[in-house]
Structure 1
Amino acid sequence: MKLSTLFITLLLIGVSFSQPDVSNSYLGVGDTGVSYFPSYLNLQMHIRCYSNVTAANQNGPIALFDSGLPFFSTAWVPIIPSVLANMPSWNISKACFVDRYGYGWSNSSTYPITTQEYVVRLRGSLQVAGLTGKYILVGWSWGSIFIQTYSLTYPKEVVGILSIDGTDSKWGLIPSNQQNVITLSDAVKGYINMNNMGTLEPLARSGMVGSYFGWLPDDWSILDTLNVH
């Protein structure tokens, strides 16, 4: 197996975390988010959504956010308030934040899932959850690979894409990137091993691993001290 293939499959299997109930909120008191847990082809995906509370744009597109490596939906917590404030002017009906398989509150896959299969499963999960319509796809770093693939696979469903520090879909195949492939693969495997040994959660809760890895802090004031970006 090529290093790039190993890297990609590691990312799509992801890291399985033991999490508190996500309904406790991302934003603290007054959080209006709703978590969906659609099951599609024997895997459950977690999608956290916030609705436009104004009367306008109720039938507008859904903004769908996919995070960078190795983060998941909680990586977007610092920008969610701004997204909520701008939803009316952006003409969107919902803003939804996705946990890829093995990340956050989504199931882990027991076998490697390619990018192409992931977007098929993402689309199926959105349909099961009733989150259908047109999409504006937002991908940060590694997440941009998935929004590129989704837009190419289902172009009639996508009205816009936004890539933030985007990764090219062929990044892992470029020879000069192979050392980065090895380093990042080792980092992901290290987090998997730490989680299996039960040592990752205490580090996250102490602030040594950022809350965007998925553990929401017991004391919300810690978010002010963490390097969340």
Structure 2
Amino acid sequence: MSTLWGKNKTDDSQAGESSDPWHPGNGDGGQGDSSSAPPTERTRLLPNRTDERPPLLNPDDPAVSPYNLWTVRIVRYATVLFAALTFVWWVLLLVSIFVTPPGLYTRGSPFFAFGYACLALFNICFTLAFFAVPSRAVRILSIVMAVLLFVDVIITVSVERTRHEERWVGMTSVIWALAMSLWTLLADRTVKWGKAEEEERLTGRVETRRTVFEWTEVLVSTIAFVVLTIVIVLMTTKLILRALDAGVAPPGKRYWVDGGKYQIHLSCHGDANTTTNAKGGKEPTVLLEGGEWPVEDGLWQLADNAVQNGSISRYCFADRPGYAWSDTGPSPLSAGMATDALSEALARAGETGPWVLLSAGTGAHYSRVFSARHGEEVKGILLVDPEHEDLLGRIASPWRGFELWLRGVISPLGLEQLPGALFHGRGGKDRVWGRSAGGEGKLIFAWLQEGLVADSLTRRDVESARAIQREDTPVTVISSGVKMRRDRRWEDKQRGLTHLTRNTQHWDVVDEAPHRVWETYEGRKKIEKRLRQLVRA
């Protein structure tokens, strides 16, 4: 039995060795030959192909990258190109706020186009910063942003007033912001596809884990796009409010000036054709010039009341560029340039005077320039707490300019108008020429324009006007007692303006009146009295 068992063991061992063609003992390297034993259920008939593939990489290996694909690299190169183009456009719009390049101007607020350029620039920069870390949250937010921006495009193009004010500059910025939002969505989706493709090819599966650094990038990118989405929501709401305000009709008509570049709003009320003054001539028309705020905010009501009680027979007023219903003009814009626009609008409307000029605050500079250039037609000047040219440096200070620029940049968000409209019931008129107009980008830009050239071009215009002012023109000055007590230099300059000509009629100080003298009963009474005297002289 032992002999038989040993023999069988030896035979089985030899048979097992000869029947395995991949046994290391085979002379042909495991491939077998024609003399080997017939195959059994344990015999490999085909070579193991997995032995010929390269080994799989670790998911953390730097070689596992979506940048291995040409599609992803092309998308990144295009994103860099779009970022460069957006930056160039952003710089051009930034420069146009201070000095308008030929053709690159808007008739509304330049901060509108600049705001959408900032939006597009931040969007594309965030896309580049987090390009290799796709995120589902970013894709969802990009869809929301694209929908809102599409609504903005529709409003900007379809509303006539908005289209008129923004021209091709504003519309291009909105459309470009929409395009960059769609590109962000496409880029994120492409990188997600490329990342999954390379991970499956190089590691054998799609990696679902993220490192702490990657999670940090996802968090930061999500926060950034949430902020951008909130900004777009505010801008869209403000744009809707602006479209509604376009339905507020102006009291007068708009006239093209400066070679058809922009329009000036001019409004006249009353009838002086049958009214004569003490000398039997045509009674002058009162020409109003507002101060730091539009004429409609105070002086309009005062003049209208003066017509009703018979103090005057007729008055006209024009909104300076950027104020109320007038378009903004290209930068720079001095007092002389704005006065030329007023003169052109009066000529197109067929208004020839004669005039009695009523102006307040900074509006005194414009009235003085107008009087010097239309000396024969001006029969009197009434200055209400006027600003002297030696004080123009106050509105030309760099800090004030930076503050106005910053307010203008955030003005498209509507942070000053939306609460008033939603919670205080303020209407379109209040936003066009009332107190809420101070948050409108158009008026902020007009203030910035005035400040940029106040101590240079405007000062030169006013000093030249003083030199050529007719010496026999009657002048009356009404000053604020409150402001004079607070500012001694202001008091000295008020006294200096009483010597504007040799025919100073009166200098009245209304003790309890603020800078806006007409806001008190005594101030309105004094203004109407002096106005009546100048008109009836």
Pairwise TM-score range, normalised by the shorter structure: 0.5 to 0.7
User: Which residue does the alignment assign to 2:264?
Assistant: 45
Q: Any gaps of 5 or more consecutive residues in structure 1?
A: 1-8, 25-33, 218-226
Opposite residue 73 of structure 1, the aligned amino acid is: V
**Closer, same or farther: CA 64–193 of 1 in aligned 2, 3 Å:** farther
Evaluate the alpha carbon distance shift between residue 79 and residue 202 of structure 1 in structure 2; reply closer, same or farther with a 3 A threshold: farther
Corresponding residue number in structure 2 for 1:75? 297
Report the more deviating stretch, 136-145 or 189-198.
Answer: 189-198
Cα separation, partners in 2 of 1:20 and 1:128, compared to 1, 3 Å: same
1:161 aligned partner, one-letter code:
I
Query: Cα deviations across residues 38-66 of structure 1 (Å, max 9, x unaligned)?
Result: 11112200122221489535943221111
Counterpart of 1:31? none
Q: How does 1:19-30 map to 2 (within 5 A)?
A: 19-23=245-249
Q: Which runs of 5+ in 2 are unaligned?
A: 1-98, 100-105, 110-164, 166-241, 437-515, 520-537
Q: Partners of 2:331 and 2:369 in 1: how far apart?
A: 20
Alpha-carbon distance between aligned partners in 1 of 2:403 and 2:307, rounded to the nearest angstrom: 33
Question: For residues 107 and 399 of structure 2, what CA distance do their matches in structure 1 show?
Answer: 16
Q: Would the aligned equivalents of 1:66 and 1:139 in 2 still touch at CA under 8 Å?
A: yes
TM-score, length-scaled by structure 1: 0.67
- When Rg is computed on C-alpha atoms for both structures, the one with the higher figure is 2
Partner of residue 392, structure 2: 172
Q: After the TM superposition, which residues 139-150 of structure 1 pair with which residues of structure 2 at under 5 Å, given as runs? A: 139-150=359-370
Structure in which a larger fraction of residues adopt strand: 1
- Report the alpha carbon displacement of residue 197 of structure 1 after superposing the two structures with TM: 2.6
What letter corresponds to residue 376 of structure 2 in structure 1?
K
In structure 1, C-alpha distance between the alignment counterparts of 2:316 and 2:420, rounded to whole Å: 24
Question: C-alpha displacement at 1:213, in angstroms?
Answer: 6.1
- In the TM superposition, 1:180-191 aligns within 5 A as 181-182=397-398, 184-186=400-402, 188-191=404-407
Q: Quote the residue 1:193 is aligned against.
A: 409
Secondary structure in 2 aligned to 1:108? coil
By relative contact order (CA 8 Å, sep 6+), the higher-ranking structure is 1
The answer (yes or no) to whether the contact 1:139–1:162 under 8 Å persists in 2 is: yes
1:167 maps to amino acid: E
Match of residue 97, structure 1, among 308, 317, 323: 317
Q: Name whichever of 96-105 and 14-23 sits farther off.
A: 14-23
Partners of 1:189 and 1:55 in 2: CA distance: 49
2:285 is aligned, of 54, 62, 66, to 62
Task: Give the alignment's TM-score, normalised by structure 2.
Answer: 0.31
8 Å Cα contact 1:75-1:212 kept in structure 2: no
What is the alpha-carbon distance in structure 2 between the residues aligned to residue 89 and residue 156 of structure 1?
23
How many angstroms apart in 2 are the aligned matches of 1:102 and 1:200? Answer: 18
> CA shift at 1:131, angstroms?
1.8
Contact 1:72–1:103, Cα closer than 8 Å, also in 2: yes
Q: Is residue 214 from structure 1 mapped to residue 433 from structure 2 by the alignment?
A: yes
